[in-house]
Amino acid sequence: MTQQDFGRVAVLFGGTSAEREVSLVSGQAVLSALQQAGVNAEAFDPATRNISEIKAYDRAFIVLHGRGGEDGTMQGALELLGVPYTGSGVLASALGMDKTRTKQLWLGCGLPTPPYARLNANTHFAQVVADLGLPLMVKPAREGSSIGMRKVETLEDLQPAYAFAAQYDSEIIAEKWVTGKEYTIVLLGEKALPVIRLQPHQSHGFYDFDAKYKANDTQYLCPCGLSVEDEQALQTLALQAFDKVGAKGWGRIDAMRDEQGNFWLLEVNTVPGMTDHSLVPMAARAAGLSFQQLVLSILSQTA
């Protein structure tokens, strides 16, 4: 497709989720790249405009992170309005946004993901620790960008971590901590791009919001340090995990490798970040794609 073939493109970013500020940065980067490529692209913030106005556009590039944009609701609205859009459809978006259901699906398909427990105000926290051990990762099931997440190292820390996460969502999970190295695998079309190893500074404890978007001491290793065979195995696992959720177009799978060499799937991101700290542009560069080529490739999948 030529740039003219795309017609009038709405770049959807901003929104009303807890990830609004990240989305504003991601969306502006995508918008600028499309405009510089000669695409007739315009900003569209659903927080300030009526979604029915999207009918004036030929297609939509979704760069909305979190609920209201990444969870299937915007995808459903666009389908009702007859506007083609980037990325995954309604069901895959909704599943991918819900860490609990994603894990249930992966477990049902025989894919490796760390054991977990669902938490609520009446949970017997000592039993959770007895079942899963320590440390634990407590996280809202339907937030991204590590918002609301805490590492729990003692039983006494579990209830406060739950209360902290519950500020962001009513669905909370505690996940068995995997000691090892963290990786991310970017999917573009039918391919997995070069794997990136994430190495936050020890002061962060894990790859949290600050390590993702603010810190300058987080290391991103690509080549990731895995052998060719192990990297291919991880890419294949990521493609399987992405496919089982029903995701398509582009996205990201986060995974761990434990000290015994086993890979564990953490979560899927169906609208990953596109900021200057983000992993999708980084993996694309490693694959020989400029940021402009990356966004054009994603947009072309709406045809």
Judge whether 213 counts as a catalytic residue.
yes
Distance CA 164, CA 249 (A): 34
What is the dihedral angle through the alpha carbons of 134, 203, 251, 73, rounded to the nearest 10 degrees? 80
Catalytic one of 213, 249, 257, 278: 213
Give the burial class of 261: count Cβ atoms within 10 A of its Cβ; 0-12 exposed, 13-18 middle, 19 or more buried: exposed
The residue type found at 66 is G
Distance (Å, rounded) from C-alpha 181 to C-alpha 162? 25
- Residue partners of 83: CB distance under 8 A and separation at least 6: 10, 54, 55, 57, 58, 59, 60
Which residues 6+ apart lie within 8 Å of 174 measured at CB?
116, 117, 119, 128, 132, 136, 137, 138, 152, 158, 162
The catalytic residue among 19, 71, 169, 182 is: 19
Per the residue annotation, which of 27, 70, 254, 257 is the catalytic one? 254
From the candidates 17, 23, 88, 145, which is the catalytic residue?
A: 145
Strand partners, 116: 175
Distance, in Å, from the CA atom of 251 to the CA atom of 62, rounded to the nearest integer, reads: 12
- 175 as an active site residue: the answer is no
Q: Is the dihedral of CA 274, 275, 279, 284 positive or negative?
A: positive
Is 269 among the catalytic positions? yes
- The torsion angles phi and psi of 189, rounded to 5 degrees, stand at 65, -125
Among residues 208, 252, 257, 278, which one is catalytic? 252
Q: Mind telling me the catalytic residues?
A: 19, 145, 213, 252, 254, 267, 269, 273
